[in-house]
Amino acid sequence: MASGLFALLDDIATLMDDVATMTKVSTQKTAGILGDDLAVNAEKASGFSPSRELPVLWAISKGSFINKVIILPLAFLMSAFVPKMVIVVLVLGGLYLAYEGAEKIYEFLFHRKTEKVVVAKQNISAQELLKIEKSKIKSAIITDFILSVEIVIIALGAVVNENLTTQIIVVSIVALIATVGVYSIVALIVRMDDFGFRLIQNSNSKRGFVYNIGLLLTKALPWVIKSLSVIGTLALLLVSGGIFVHNIEQLHHVLEGIPGVLRDFLIGLAVGILCLLVVKLTKSIIPSQKPRTE
């Protein structure tokens, strides 16, 4: 009986070791999406009054958790009964990532708008503020759902050849990291300027160390969000390129003579540009087919 217990403990230890290794691999593969998720949510959670930033972020976090509760069982059922579909969905997700990355670059290069100063309404009612808040929360949760699907499928694709138990544990851990980790960092980011302002208020002079740190934090927030956006765009193309290279046989040996990171980026960018052209062409054709009303 003792030997059976030790055998069971040994099996559990082996499973946990495999889970830790596969979780590390899956987290690395989803790092690009997590970066984009972080950038998107930091942008959507900012712009509220200081007293509403954390409640809004908490509402988005709860929505993100519900998204994972919906997505995870569906992903595990797909892996258990139609495992080949994981790769199909993974490649489709890669197409979306490549398109999104290429579109962001296109918008930056050709449709860059000059920044405008938005003057807040002084007499806006509490009801109108609540309506705007709910609208932004809804938009953030929908965006989170799309990104969550990508995160779960990429994580599942990394462990698709493992047994179902390992898949469930690993992908669930990655999904938990994607929710708790990302939104914890977002909370720190959106409160950066408020923390900096408090440091400025509590400093004894305008030349002290505390004052300079506070000033740095208040001025750094817009740059942090912009930097995350750039990093997220690059990550989208790198992740999508990696998906294509590792899951489409015809691309295995393309550009083998260059570093893997550069190859993934170039393939992701090329596919993204192709997807962008298809979408633009489709949008230009569809309106012309609509019957004109007299």
Q: What is the pLDDT of residue 70?
A: 92
Flag whether pLDDT at 189 surpasses 70. yes
Question: CB neighbours of 226 closer than 8 A, spacing ≥ 6?
Answer: none
Q: What is the pLDDT of residue 29?
A: 59
d(CA 95, CA 102): 11
d(CA 35, CA 231): 7
Most confident of 58-72, 224-238, 266-280: 266-280
Average pLDDT over residues 157-171: 80
Query: What's the pLDDT tens digit per position in 101-134?
Result: 899 899 888 876 544 433 344 456 667 777 877 8
What's the N-to-C CA distance of the chain in angstroms?
Answer: 87
Q: Are 147 and 40 in contact (CB under 8 A)?
A: yes
Q: What is the pLDDT of residue 35?
A: 66
DSSP 47-109: SS-HHHHHHHHHHHHHHHHHHHHHHHHHHHHHHHH-THHHHHHHHHHHHHHHHHHHHHHHHHH
pTM: 0.69
Query: What's the pLDDT tens digit per position in 263-292?
Result: 989 999 999 999 999 999 998 887 654 455
For the chain, the farthest-separated pair of C-alpha atoms sits apart, in whole angstroms, at 87
Closest CA to 109 of 269, 285, 235: 269
Element spanning 247, H or E: helix 209-247
- Give the phi and the psi of residue 228 in degrees, each rounded to 5: -60, -35
Average pLDDT over residues 206-214: 78
